[in-house]
Amino acid sequence: METVESKFLRYVCVDTPSSEDNFENTPSTDCQKNLARMLCSELKALGLQAEVTEQAYVYSCIPANCASEYSIGFIAHIDTVEKPCGAGVKPIVHKGYSGGDICLLNGKLSPDDFPVLKNYAGQDVITSDGTTVLGADDKAGVAEIMALAEYLVSHPEIKHGKIGIAFTPDEEIGHGAKLFDLNKFGCDFAYTVDGEELGEITYETFNGAGFDLAVSGVNIHPGQAKGKMINAVVIANEFINALPENERPETTEGREGYYFVTEIRGGVESCNVRGIIRDHDREEFGRRKAFVSAAVEKLNAKYCGRLTLSIRGQYYNCAEVIAPHKHLIDNAKAAMEAAGVKPSVFPVRGGTDGSSLSFMGLPCPNICTGGHNAHGLNEFVSVQSMRKVVEILLGIVGLYSKG
């Protein structure tokens, strides 16, 4: 059997960054199809039925070998973030990590900056070379689900109900569940394996939306600009300054929502601002969207309609759907405790495919992968943590086989 870490090291070397510039298409990048096809082939090689759609969704299942009250499934996404850099990943395994600084090409990964790193002294820590993200979000989850599948196929004596498996594209741009086929998946409940630190269980997410602002200006020679030039960059900056500076990701925590400007590009003639809006509370979420719209309306009044805003919904807080199904959380906690892992249940400051899938009729909490520092060049994951996650998934399977 191939180890979970070996699978992970193979998968992260396949480029799969998704792209907000092409979010109207699924997948948003063709490269995601390569990993989708690879996973489908590997599932078939295990003797399982599997298929991959043109949109890069992978569906498979392990048939039941005993009676169970519910069928459950596990889901992970194959895409990685596009920025700061999601392509050309070169993973490095730091065997028996010493507990000090890890030197990378562009600097170092230090416990002075990330104290949690100290918890992994003596373990095998995987990073990128420092020039890209690692892609543990969510290829650690992909590898863990694939390791689970291989283990169950190799040990038919383990009793279990029907186990669904699915991999989705474009989660990082909020569209992972857009074309998810519940009938193909065919399960009563599921878990997304897309969290971070070992022990995490989350079933409450942000409500999320993205916004795009286009500003048109008038360019003219600066020597003749008085009363004639309209600088789109200046107008875009006015919009950014209108957002409360104490309600940004770097100034909020817990259940506090935020406005996050993720990108600004352009020049005097035209400028575009891209960002996201997040809040756990549905009413506050609506207020935040209205605030952004009002800020643009005010600037349009000042600059004669030179701003165009679009706000698109991404996902909603899935707690209201999952909370009535307490067994999902109880069984995840019990599986972790049996594996010697302390469970930690808290509202996640983000969202997963499970947010949308829950509202589609598939209650779907999120559990850990063992990774840290997702979406950044300092991302890392512990081999031992990934192995523990596979053990936790096996524990969940066992609990549902007992009804």
Q: Which residues are catalytic?
A: 79, 171
Does residue 257 come out as left (phi exceeding 0), alpha (psi in the -120 to 50 range) or beta? Answer: beta
**Cα–Cα dist 289/286, whole Å:** 5
Residue 92 in contact with residue 128, Cβ under 8 Å?
A: yes
To which residue do tokens 């863990």 refer? 144
Closest CA to 218 of 228, 227, 210, 226: 228
Q: What is the CA radius of gyration of the chain?
A: 23
**Cα–Cα dist 197/384, whole Å:** 12
Apex 300 CA angle, 295 and 302, nearest 5: 100
Instruction: Take residue 149 and report the two structure tokens written for it.
Output: 């599948």
Side-chain-facing half-sphere of 24: CA atoms under 13 Å = 1
Apex 241 CA angle, 228 and 307, nearest 5: 50
Instruction: Take residue 152 and report the two structure tokens written for it.
Output: 């169950």
**Cα–Cα dist 135/86, whole Å:** 7
**Cα–Cα dist 79/175, whole Å:** 11
Q: Which residues have CB under 8 Å from 140's CB, separation 6+?
A: 8, 369, 370, 371, 381, 386, 389
Determine if the peptide bond prior to 244 is cis (ω within 30°): no
**Cα–Cα dist 210/21, whole Å:** 12
- Within 10 Å of residue 203's Cβ, how many Cβ atoms? 28
